[in-house]
Amino acid sequence: PYQGYLGQGLTKFVFRGRYNNTDYAVLQCKCIRSRDVDNEKDLLGELEILHLSQYFLDSFYRRGEEEDVHNLPKMKWNITGAFIGKLTQKLADAPNNGEEDLHSLVFSCFMVLQLLPTGALCNEIKFSGNAEVGVNNDSLRSAIDAYAHHVAVDSMYEMIISDIQGDANGDSGYWDHGKPAISEFLESHKCNKFCNTLGLDTKVPPLSLFNTICKGPLCIGFD
Model confidence pLDDT, tens digit, residues 49-83 = 899 999 999 999 999 999 999 999 999 999 999 99
Model confidence pLDDT, tens digit, residues 167-179 = 445 555 555 667 7
- Rounded Cα distance, 71 and 87, in Å: 45
Task: Match domain 139-209 to its CATH number in 2.102.10.10, 3.40.50.2300, 3.60.70.12, 3.20.200.10.
Answer: 3.20.200.10
Model confidence pLDDT, tens digit, residues 118-151 = 777 777 776 665 555 556 678 888 999 999 999 9
Q: How confident is the model at residue 187 (pLDDT cuts 50, 70, 90)?
A: confident
Count Cβ atoms within 10 A of the Cβ of residue 113 and give its class: 0-12 exposed, 13-18 middle, 19 or more buried: buried
Under a CB-based contact definition with an 8 Å cutoff, are residues 204 and 165 in contact? no
CA within 13 Å, CB half, 216: 13
pLDDT of residue 173: 55
pTM strictly above 0.75: yes
